[in-house]
Amino acid sequence: MKRSKRKAFIGKWGLWIIGIVFPVFVSAQTPKHYTLDELVHLANERYPYASQLGLVNRQNIESQKSIDTQWLPHTSALVKSSYQSEVSSISIPKDIESKFGIDIGEGKKLQYQGGVSVSQLVYDGGAGHIQKRISGLNSDMQARQIKLSMLQIEDEIDNLFETVLVLKEQIKIVQFKQADLKLRKKDVSYAIQNGISLKTDMQEIDASIIQLGQQETELTMSLCQRYVELSSFVQEPIDSTAIFELPQSEDIADKDYSTRPDYEMFALQIQNAEWKMKELNAEIVPRLTLFANGYYGRPGLNMMDYTAHYSGIVGVSLAWNLDALYNNTHRRNLIKIDKEITRNRQSIYQINMNKQIDDLDIDLSKNRKLADSDDEMVKIRSNIKEVASIQLKNGTLTLTDYLIKLNDEAQAMINKSIHRIGYLMDGAKMKTLLNKNN
């Protein structure tokens, strides 16, 4: 049974991988289009972190309810029975008993008692309210940690999206070079027939075409790996038939990152420290409690009465933790130090974030400026290669020199794609860095 399940599992994923590597194009099939925003949205909806947020919220609600139970009456019941080898007794002369009407019987060795105790907290010095706030802050920090993990996934999706776009362009360039060399084979064959080229030139072209085919295979496999990674994030199969649309140009003037979950965490940690300080202050406040105890059995509250009867007691208790007056000094100092450490870490975080923003701005400007001159560069390299192809055909240029010109043209073309993709993706990455995707 297990073997058949495993075979089914392998078969399922094997077919999926084959579908990625060797897609079957049917005329009626429409390739699925994806934008970067759609992939990020799908990940935020479907990745398990999304359900974790709901669980953390439920956990916080239950924690709040648990703290509130201290205001409910606390009830307990006790039943006990014992047999004693000895009991207390008082020896009084008979004449004194008769004279004063005293009748003190001997205690019973078999004793039993059942009781119910009820207590009601009246005043807790604000401890319950403080505990609820601390619990809520802890829940908020846990939620921010989950959101930070989701933001990191958004960043990974950005990088994967960019890598997929670049790999597709690189595959196009490899295919362009293959097509060009296949055309050159005719020219070289003609030159060999006329004795102006060597037969090894044809072998050199064949070797270059094979090498390009190997490069295409490597790039295709790398592309498949990226599809698998993206599929795991969006919980949806993505294959090579998918079309990724370039993101729109983003010009973000407001570089505010205060909504990032890891930045919000600092404020929550500082608030948590302040409420913990209040919790220490609440520990020195007396707790006021009403209580009532009821009993039935023998003996009762009157230890001299060994008849089975009811008895009870009601009262008020005041509990005051005096140790907190002098024990909490060091705990207060620790909380103050933790608070200062948090502020110090926040300052370091701000420095690093500002640096990341500046670096991304510089990279965006660089790619934009490079993209402005790429068209001219491609035009020049293409003209040079076209002249070189004529020279190769006429035998005035070696195949090695032609391959250099072809590689220069291909590099100019891929640089154009990389600069354009990089510029647009820098804007998208800035959105993610500032947590402006949602």
pLDDT in tens, 181-209: 998 888 888 778 777 777 888 889 999 99
**Minimal CA–CA distance to 353: which of 434, 267, 429?**
434
107 in helix, strand or coil? Answer: coil
User: Long-range CB contacts (< 8 A, 24+ apart) of 336-344?
Assistant: 336/273, 338/273, 339/270, 339/273, 339/274, 342/266, 342/269, 342/270, 342/273, 343/266, 343/270
Question: What totals of helices (H) and strands (E) does the chain contain, helices first?
Answer: 10, 6
**Structure tokens given for 135:** 């619990």
Q: Is residue 237 reached through a cis peptide bond, with omega within 30 degrees of 0 on the bond before it? A: no
Angstrom distance (rounded) from CA 28 to CA 251: 39
Say what the pLDDT of residue 209 is. Answer: 94
**Minimal CA–CA distance to 295: which of 147, 110, 116?**
116
Say what the pLDDT of residue 277 is. Answer: 94
Neighbouring residues of 187: CB distance < 8 A, sequence distance ≥ 6? 389, 392, 393
Strands 287-298 and 243-244: unpaired
Residues in the chain, total: 438
Residue 195 has φ and ψ, to the nearest 5°, of: 75, 20
436 in helix, strand or coil? Answer: coil
**Structure tokens given for 429:** 């990455």
pLDDT in tens, the chain (438 residues): 434 444 443 444 444 444 444 444 433 457 889 999 999 999 999 999 989 999 999 999 999 999 999 999 999 998 888 887 777 766 777 777 677 666 666 677 788 888 899 999 999 989 999 999 999 999 999 999 999 999 999 999 999 999 999 999 999 999 999 999 998 888 888 778 777 777 888 889 999 999 999 999 999 999 999 999 999 999 999 988 899 999 988 778 889 999 999 999 999 999 999 999 999 999 889 999 999 998 888 887 777 677 788 888 999 998 888 887 788 888 999 999 999 999 999 999 999 999 999 999 999 999 999 999 999 999 999 999 999 998 888 888 888 999 999 999 999 999 999 999 999 999 999 999 999 987
Angstrom distance (rounded) from CA 410 to CA 208: 14
